[in-house]
Structure 1
Amino acid sequence: MTKTLAILPVILTGLLLLAGCGGTAAGSGGATGAPKRGGTLVLGENGQEPTCLDPHGNSSSDGPVTTVPVSDSLVWFDADGTIKPWLADSWQVSDDGLTYTFKLRQGVKFHDGAAWNAEALKVNFEHMKDPATKSPLAAAYIAPYKDAKVIDEHTLEVRLSSPYSPFLDILAQGYLGMISPKQIKESPQSICEHPIGSGPFVLDKWTKGQSVTYHRNPDYNWGPASAKHTGPAYLERLEIRFLTEDATRYNALAAGEADAIDFTPPQNVSDVKANPDLGFLTAIRPGHPMAFWLNTSRAPFDDVKVRRALLAAVDRDSIIKGISFGEYQVAQGFVTSSTPGYAKGLAGTIAHDPAAADKLLDEAGWTARDKDGIRLKDGRRLTAYFPIAANFPAQRMQIAVQTQAAARKIGLDIQLQTPPEQELSDRSIKGDYDLTSGLWATNTADVLWIQYSSKNITTDERRGQNVARLSDGKLDDLLEKARRSTGQAERTELYNQAQARLLELVPAIPFYDDPRPVAYQKKVRDLSFTPAYPSPYFYDTWLDE
């Protein structure tokens, strides 16, 4: 995940929109023979290397792809959005939504021999919430977790402080994968470097800046409910290489040095699709689209008319088509189209209308202009500051420059700044910016609470993710009710209303629904995504060679 001002690295999950080239909808396929065992699969990653391989201490978009081979999840989030058993055989939820009773799968062992049981699950929950874990995601996702009680060896009763409808959904994410209770208790300092899970692969070595390698767990026999087979994984070994440069990653695939590459560069997708020796798999990452957030707590974006003006001035369709070679889908609102609870009926609401933008700024009192064409009010220029990191992704920089140009046409001066990293961090915490960028991927529309609840504005006591610093009572009420709702239809309606409210408030300029395009050699069979967070999943994968 890319770090920019006030933004944690991106995360992912949700209902998937899949497209195969020479493969099945669920992954690469087309083989007529039985799966073969053995071989090493090499995956080229995009260089967003995690700083920690502890799934609970991770927030990189490469996080799940490096940790899911090692750690299993409590439940499985299926492609149709249903929750299915995995390390939990079954569960019951109390009528008030405050108590979850999990019956756990028996016979599961961690790589160090520790048993999977109710105590192991409790220890994992406590590790996620422990401040010492420094969890950027898992702790936030299970914030309503209060405590747990071991009923018997394979039954755990979990109590929440308030009803939390996404609880089961987020427990399916790789960021909340289970690790050995023995390692948590006896050697917590070793988890970042070498996590011990119960998954289909055992971690061998992490060579920072280069790769992570794994070997098959020969005792594995507890795959998720949707798996195509039982028993150990087919692959003997797995290697994930960090290949930062787009050209390097694609050339490694073309030369056969990599069997598959993640985040296929958009400029190469058409070549991949045209190559009979390559296959293609993609999914739109659910959650919040890539956006430029507007700081609503200070001028000029404390005025909703100014925010609406900028949104109307930017030709998002043209920008996204250009920077993605036509591969990216323009965002239609504040959650992606693959997110459960997406308000499909609101698609097309955002219009490119420079004339309307000019009118809105006139109404806001910015009627005069200086010699450079920048609008003035009470002797002040209409200026907004956009501090960005020195390693700002090239595509986002193109979007920033084109947004800057569109804003200038309506008399708004967006100044792009590249302060030192420490200054950038300090300004992020203080709210000393007018624009910032990023995305947040997760498999529920509760991403709206994460990004826009007034409870998530950063304070001296707490680092929040509401970087737009939006505070709206009506929106807060809708999002709190949705979190507490125990009925799917009611929850969907509340999230739809929240999305409509955000289109009125315009706390951000949403640009595109972020895809995860994977290209692979045709010998790679049954490569798929984990639906709870679209990242490559290798349990069913095999090599036809």
Structure 2
Amino acid sequence: MTKKTLAILLAAAALLAGCGSTDASSGGDGAPKSGGTLVLGENGQEPTCLDPHGNASSDGPVATVPVADSLVWFDADGTIKPWLADSWQISDDGLTYTFKLRQRVKFHDGAVWNAEALKANFEHMKDPATKSPLAAAYIAPYQDSKVVDDYTLEVRLSSPYKPFLDILAQGYLGMISPKQIKEAPQTICEHPIGSGPFIFDTWTKGQSITYHRNPDYNWGPKSAKHTGPAYLDKLEIRFLTEDATRYNALASGEVHAIDFTPPQNVEDVKANPDLGFLSAIRPGHPMAFWLNTSRPPFDDVKVRQALLAAVDRQSIIKGISFGQYQVAQGFVTSSTPGYAAGLDGTIAYDPAKAGQLLDEAGWTAKDKDGIRVKDGKRLTAYFPIAANFPAQRMQIAVQTQAAARKIGLDIQLQTPPEQELTDRSLKGDYDMSSGLWATNTADVLWIQYSSENITTDKRRGQNVARLRDAKLDDLLERARQGEDPAELYNQAQARLLELAPAIPFYDDPRPVSYQKKVHGLSFTPAYPSPYFYDTWLDQ
């Protein structure tokens, strides 16, 4: 590892440390108090399923981490520490992980946490019936496991997987009761049973999720600020889709805190002496528009490069975020361990170059509307989006559409019914798609761009760009197996800048605002998301 790479990793760790361990406290004598109900105003990205293994929503962990503990804890400095696993050993070939598990841990239904429970969770993540959009991709190298004794599980991988422990710290891989997995797996989405500091109560879809304190809890992560049960009596996550509604709810005292503070309100929050603010850039893949490389027009790399050069990302992001968002420099965010800072500035706004690239691709003629034509076909790209597409992303889409039109590319924005949108996504029947992927490792590049992760009839993958590149596949596979990952991830990021399978727009922040009566509010560093175990109210 070079000194430069080490500096990048330490900078990323410092960013997470500064945000992930923030104590959102003010006033009083600082002595935690038990009791009260904390209400968090969440945005409209409500999970469709509360099984931590069955969702990929941005709001997934905030809704499931109160219920489901993780096997290990990813600390703010990037080190892995014990949680439900007391210790672990890794074989020299990287294929076998032997976990020694914490004892005297119970799930909310009385089931015991042991080696059989951990095995059941791994199998549940892997089971096609779970329809896991995320956890299954993360543990793809998982082969099988063997119970050595009541509290020892030997896990075997099909290939070395350097980020294995890192991803096991994420809320998307939280532990669910083995009894529920075995006897009633169909109930997990609606009523998850874990071992966490809060017990699930009710989910009124479109409105809220409520929890109450687990009085028996005494197995928090080693990095927690206290032991024993949580301080709060109850927790309510209230879904407030509209930005103005969410902010006004905080300002009026209707809620104690809000997630995803609207960017237009951030400066007001910072200026308000009665409110506090904490934020972290989520590691992983930036918010981007992916380009379907498996069919025209984006099967031509020059067309992809042309669109990337035609879009003034700096201007767009500054405008839609009121100057709050950081423009993405590549295909992982700046807070991701392994971020290739040396490539900053590679993506340049250059409409003249965009036009030249389209000329080189053979799109030289134009019709009466100024759209380029080749072999009698207009240069057209179809971008199907959901009816509840976030307003900010819609603004980006409209401005991207306008920029594309200036170089002769017609982007057609479509809003098909939800089921049609899902079907088209699975079939690859689109030219553009939108999203991001937050994770605490540069292995996000394998998840998003390895040809192994293109959706098939047998497996739902996350390579929505449907990119196939042998050189990139080789770099990513060797990196995840532990062969000089820092250098290989650098090379992979450089290769992606050449391939241009997406337009990366911004590094996604997680801005949380709160009333000063809220203390001990923090983020889980593995995936920046509000964490409530140490939180208390000064009432």
TM bucket, shorter chain: over 0.9
Structure 1 residue 519 and structure 2 residue 513: aligned? Answer: yes
Per-residue deviation, residues 412-433 of structure 1 (Å, max 9, x unmatched): 1212122233332232222222
1:10 is matched with which residue? none
Higher deviation after alignment, 110-119 or 254-263: 110-119
2:262 is matched with which residue? 265
Q: Which amino acid aligns with 2:85?
A: A
Q: Does structure 1 retain, via aligned residues, the 8 Å contact 2:20–2:280?
A: no
Structure 1 residue 172 and structure 2 residue 169: aligned? Answer: yes
Which secondary structure state, in structure 2, belongs to the residue aligned with residue 534 of structure 1? coil
Cα distance, 1:60–1:143 mapped onto 2, change above 3 Å? same
Higher deviation after alignment, 186-195 or 104-113: 186-195
Higher deviation after alignment, 449-458 or 185-194: 185-194
From 441, 447, 452, give the equivalent of 1:444.
Answer: 441
Partners in 1 of 2:453 and 2:244 — Cα distance?
38
Which secondary structure state, in structure 2, belongs to the residue aligned with residue 467 of structure 1? coil
Cα distance, 1:309–1:461 mapped onto 2, change above 3 Å? same
Query: Shift in Å at residue 369 of structure 1?
Result: 2.1
Cα distance, 1:188–1:459 mapped onto 2, change above 3 Å? closer
Per-residue deviation, residues 193-251 of structure 1 (Å, max 9, x unmatched): 22221111111222222211111112211111211111111111111111111111111
* TM-score (normalised: structure 2): 0.94
RMSD of the alignment, in Å? 1.7
Structure 1 residue 537 and structure 2 residue 534: aligned? Answer: no
Cα distance, 1:354–1:270 mapped onto 2, change above 3 Å? same
From 288, 298, 304, give the equivalent of 1:291.
Answer: 288
Partners in 2 of 1:191 and 1:25 — Cα distance?
30
Which secondary structure state, in structure 1, belongs to the residue aligned with residue 211 of structure 2? strand
Q: Which amino acid aligns with 2:87?
A: S
Q: Which amino acid aligns with 2:160?
A: P
Partners in 2 of 1:457 and 1:381 — Cα distance?
27
From 24, 27, 34, give the equivalent of 1:28.
Answer: 24
Partners in 2 of 1:420 and 1:237 — Cα distance?
37
Give structure 2 stretches of 5+ with no counterpart: 1-11
Higher deviation after alignment, 245-254 or 369-378: 369-378
Partners in 1 of 2:21 and 2:195 — Cα distance?
28
Query: Shift in Å at residue 402 of structure 1?
Result: 0.6
1:399 is matched with which residue? 396
Matches within 5 A, 1:76-115: 76-115=73-112
Q: Which amino acid aligns with 2:15?
A: L
2:207 is matched with which residue? 210
Per-residue deviation, residues 436-490 of structure 1 (Å, max 9, x unmatched): 11111111111111111111122333322211111111000001111111x6xx1
Cα distance, 1:384–1:37 mapped onto 2, change above 3 Å? same
Query: Shift in Å at residue 321 of structure 1?
Result: 0.5
Q: Does structure 2 retain, via aligned residues, the 8 Å contact 1:19–1:281?
A: no
Partners in 1 of 2:23 and 2:369 — Cα distance?
54
Matches within 5 A, 1:42-81: 42-81=39-78
Q: Which amino acid aligns with 1:204?
A: D
Q: Which amino acid aligns with 1:417?
A: Q
Structure 1 residue 333 and structure 2 residue 327: aligned? Answer: no
Query: Shift in Å at residue 169 of structure 1?
Result: 0.8
Query: Shift in Å at residue 497 of structure 1?
Result: 0.6
Q: Does structure 1 retain, via aligned residues, the 8 Å contact 2:25–2:517?
A: no
Cα distance, 1:191–1:387 mapped onto 2, change above 3 Å? closer
From 373, 381, 386, give the equivalent of 1:376.
Answer: 373
Q: Does structure 2 retain, via aligned residues, the 8 Å contact 1:290–1:510?
A: yes
Q: Which amino acid aligns with 2:185?
A: P
Give structure 1 stretches of 5+ with no counterpart: 1-13
Partners in 2 of 1:381 and 1:354 — Cα distance?
19
Cα distance, 1:484–1:536 mapped onto 2, change above 3 Å? same
Cα distance, 1:272–1:18 mapped onto 2, change above 3 Å? farther
Identical aligned pairs, as a percentage?
A: 86
From 177, 181, 184, give the equivalent of 1:184.
Answer: 181
Which secondary structure state, in structure 1, belongs to the residue aligned with residue 88 of structure 2? strand
Structure 1 residue 17 and structure 2 residue 24: aligned? Answer: no
Partners in 2 of 1:418 and 1:199 — Cα distance?
39
Partners in 1 of 2:284 and 2:74 — Cα distance?
15
Q: Which amino acid aligns with 1:210?
A: Q
Query: Shift in Å at residue 380 of structure 1?
Result: 2.7
2:361 is matched with which residue? 364
Partners in 2 of 1:429 and 1:16 — Cα distance?
38
Query: Shift in Å at residue 391 of structure 1?
Result: 1.9
Partners in 1 of 2:226 and 2:241 — Cα distance?
34
Q: Which amino acid aligns with 1:17?
A: L
1:496 is matched with which residue? 490
Partners in 2 of 1:194 and 1:303 — Cα distance?
46
2:9 is matched with which residue? none
Per-residue deviation, residues 347-370 of structure 1 (Å, max 9, x unmatched): 111111111112212222222222
2:503 is matched with which residue? 509
Q: Does structure 2 retain, via aligned residues, the 8 Å contact 1:52–1:193?
A: yes
1:227 is matched with which residue? 224
Q: Does structure 2 retain, via aligned residues, the 8 Å contact 1:16–1:284?
A: no
Query: Shift in Å at residue 19 of structure 1?
Result: 10
Q: Which amino acid aligns with 2:431?
A: D
Q: Does structure 1 retain, via aligned residues, the 8 Å contact 2:137–2:461?
A: no
Matches within 5 A, 1:140-159: 140-159=137-156
Q: Does structure 2 retain, via aligned residues, the 8 Å contact 1:27–1:529?
A: no
Query: Shift in Å at residue 344 of structure 1?
Result: 1.1
Q: Which amino acid aligns with 2:180?
A: Q
1:459 is matched with which residue? 456
Q: Does structure 2 retain, via aligned residues, the 8 Å contact 1:16–1:534?
A: no
Partners in 2 of 1:508 and 1:496 — Cα distance?
18
* TM-score (normalised: structure 1): 0.93
Moved over 3 A (4+): 14-20
Per-residue deviation, residues 276-312 of structure 1 (Å, max 9, x unmatched): 1000111111111111111112222111111111111
Partners in 1 of 2:460 and 2:180 — Cα distance?
28
Q: Does structure 1 retain, via aligned residues, the 8 Å contact 2:316–2:399?
A: yes
